[in-house]
Structure 1
Amino acid sequence: MRIVEIIFSPTGGTAKVARAFAEGWEGEVKTIDLANPEKDFSTCAVDEGDQVLIALPSFGGRVPTIATERLSRIAGNGATCTLICVYGNRAYEDTLAEMEDTARACGFNVVAAVAAIAEHSIFPQFATGRPDATDTAQLRGFARRITEEATDTPTIPGNRPYKQGGRGGLVPQPAATCVGCGLCARECPVQAIDADGFAANPETCIGCMRCLRICPVNAREVNAAAVAAKAEALSPVCTPRKENELFL
């Protein structure tokens, strides 16, 4: 059996969850990276016999728009599909419902879904180090259960119409210590960073924080006062440990 992993993971948390989960299955793994801005996703081949895993992050309780747009170009061809939404210990709200609708519209046969925790991409003090060893063991167990118990009619939570989406408003910009290596511009999933001055376009940036995480000299920054205020507001809901969930 071939496993096809379709992921959007700007800072690596979603990819880490997907890897842990896929270890519960057996087969060769092919990865389709939806964060690649140069890829023509209409050419990505998924066969009916593939076991597909779609793993996307929850941004404010919704799927990032660019991930939905790119996923919608991939033909599912009736392949069995499990959905994983990954969130930073706040809430995933309508993310799984939106993923389900998009996947079914592409022709995937959705048989199960998982909501999983990873370290918050903007506020790493929440869900620090997750998925941890406990999460990894649980995700592998979920994969095995899906193999044994999945049906074509899973009960997946979420509202339709979906909640209103929107960017978080935190746009990383270059600091004075920027050395001009250009890595941030090359790796930005939405090509929002100018290739000369390395400033991010606030109208294009989705606040995914990839540029901040990958900068080799830590020369990307966001407004410190805004970060502190948002972290304080989120602390009551994001601090208590939440657990991964399986929907069959």
Structure 2
Amino acid sequence: MIYQLLFSPTGGTRAVADALCPGQVIDLCDRDRDFASVTLTADDVAIIAVPSYGGRVPVPAARRLAQVQGGGARAVLVCVYGNRAYEDTLAELADLAEAAGFRVAAGVAAVAEHSIARQFAAGRPDEADKAVLQGFWGKIQAKLDAGNDTVPTLPGNRPYKPGMAKAMVPRTSKRCIGCGRCAAACPTGAIDAADPRQTDPARCIGCMRCVRLCPAEARSPDPQALAALSAHLEPLCAGRKENELFL
């Protein structure tokens, strides 16, 4: 069985994973799921895909993956980033996967539209990306079929770089209709279900899922903070970065 263990608040990571290889989804964004009850076996293959948040694995994804029982399943690790850099994400993801009982077989670094400053890597993964990712899977499948258990050398440093000090917490405008869709879908439960206009900044990870899901377009990043981030990213995101495979 092929599983996709996904942390994909805004859909970019899932689009990459689907282009690589479809599988049964285990949603690491589901804050109500008992991940300790998720058990795989040595016959399974797990695509473990997360976005890079400041060069690290998102904290909720790390905590939930740590509860999963890998059972010796072979793991294909996927780090998705917004055309800047992914730094220590794959190294950290490998450590988490191994600690959870997975056998790391391959790693992929892939580009998707930046979740906050969406002008960077806009529209990615595009058709060219998808063709590359499908080609990657052919090579990964060949390694799995050959029973090759060599562990790939993945980029990244240990100790990891410090995590993000502060998330960009979306604002809520007067257009909010109080439907509660954002609160129900928030991966960390940062939005008050009784009053969705209220967001706990200590729990928010700035994933922007609420911004994408809001039917009234009532949630958005702070304009000044977004402008500052865009200016910072402009030189770092210049040029098209390509997807990478590590076998």
What TM-score range do you get, normalising by the shorter chain? over 0.9
Are the aligned partners of 2:111 and 2:242 in contact in 1 as well (CA < 8 Å)? yes
Q: Deviations over 1:102-144 (max 9, x none)?
A: 0001110101100000000001100000000010010011011
| Equivalent-residue separation in structure 2 for 1:47 and 1:123 (angstroms) | 39
Q: How far is the alpha carbon of 1:168 from its aligned partner? A: 4.7
Runs of 4+ in 1 over 4 A off after TM superposition: none
The correspondence of residues 224-243 of structure 1 with structure 2, limited to 5 A, is 224-243=223-242
CA contact (8 A) 2:167 2:204 kept: no
Could you tell me which of 150, 159, 162 is aligned with 2:160? 162
Decide whether the 8 Å contact of 2:31 with 2:189 is kept in 1. yes
Alignment TM-score, normalising by the size of structure 1: 0.95
**Preserved CA contact (<8 Å) 1:60 1:92:** yes
2:100 corresponds in structure 1 to 106
Letter of the aligned partner of 2:190 in structure 1? A
Does residue 1:133 correspond to 2:127, yes or no?
yes
> 5 Å matches for 1:50-199?
50-149=44-143, 151-198=149-196, 199=198
TM-score, normalised by the number of residues in structure 2:
0.95
- Tell me, in whole angstroms, the C-alpha distance in 2 between the residues paired with 1:134 and 1:86: 16
* Aligned counterpart, 2:218: 219
Q: Return the alpha-carbon distance in structure 2 between the equivalents of residues 15 and 241 of structure 1.
A: 20
Unaligned runs of 5+ in 1: 24-28
Tell me the CA shift for residue 148 of structure 1. 1.6
Amino acid at match of 2:16: V
Q: Secondary structure at the match of 1:207?
A: coil
3-state SS of 2:105 partner: strand
Aligned residue runs from structure 1 range 193-208, under 5 A: 193-198=191-196, 199-208=198-207
C-alpha separation between the residues in 2 aligned to 1:174 and 1:153?
A: 46
Question: How big is the shift at 1:169?
Answer: 3.1
Q: For 2:13, what is the secondary structure of its paired residue? A: helix
Q: Distance in 2 between matches of 1:108 and 1:40?
A: 18
Is contact 2:79–2:89 with CA below 8 Å preserved after alignment? yes
- Following superposition, the deviation at residue 221 of structure 1 comes to 1.9
Q: Tell me how large the CA RMSD over aligned residues is.
A: 1.1
**Count of residues in Structure 1 that have an aligned counterpart in Structure 2:** 242
Does the 8 A contact of 2:41 with 2:73 survive in 1? yes
Structure 2 residue matching 1:98: 3-state secondary structure: helix
C-alpha contact (below 8 Å) 2:39/2:71 kept by paired residues: no
Give the whole-Å Cα distance in 1 for the aligned partners of 2:17 and 2:204.
Answer: 25
Distance in 2 between residues matched to 1:239 and 1:128, nearest whole Å: 12
Match of residue 46, structure 1, among 35, 40, 55: 40
Residue 167 (structure 1) shift: 4.7
Percent of pairs with identical residues: 52
| Displacement after TM superposition at 1:196 (Å) | 2.5
Gaps of 5+ in 2: none
SS in 1 for 2:109: strand
Kept after mapping to 1: 8 A contact 2:52/2:79: yes
CA distance in 2, matches of 1:148, 1:195: 47
